[in-house]
Amino acid sequence: VMTDIRRALPATTELATLGTLIGALFGVPLGVLAAVKRGSLVDQIVRIIGLIGYSVPIFWLGLLALVLFYAKLQWVAFPARLDVVYEYTFTPVTGFYLL
């Protein structure tokens, strides 16, 4: 079991860290904007986006994001932990690519 945990923990921690950072970077400014413009159209839009974000299952949002950003817009590479270009650029010491 420890072998599986050691293998999966770096990727899990990396995803959790990036998800938290992205959520904070978008959520806090949008929340402040909605609070400052209380009752306006901006407030309504931010609240609707938040409601949709909480209501839709996360796996469905992930699939929609893949279809939009990978298949339609082609802004991101195929979903993987590390792009092939960077695979042999450096040797990870801890297993965390963020550290």
Segments making up each domain of the chain, as ranges = 2-78
Q: What is the pLDDT of residue 54?
A: 86
Residue burial 64-97, b: 16+ Cβ < 10 Å; e: rest: eeeeeeeeeeeeeeeeeeeeeeeeeeeeeeeeee
Q: What is the pLDDT of residue 93?
A: 65
82 is written with which tokens? Answer: 């590390």
Average confidence (pLDDT) over 69-91: 71
Q: What is the pLDDT of residue 42?
A: 93
Q: What is the pLDDT of residue 55?
A: 92
Q: What is the pLDDT of residue 2?
A: 85
Q: What is the pLDDT of residue 96?
A: 64
Average confidence (pLDDT) over 67-78: 85
pLDDT for 86 beyond 70:
no
Gap between the Cα atoms of 34 and 49, Å rounded: 11
Average confidence (pLDDT) over 52-70: 88
Q: pTM above the 0.85 mark?
A: no
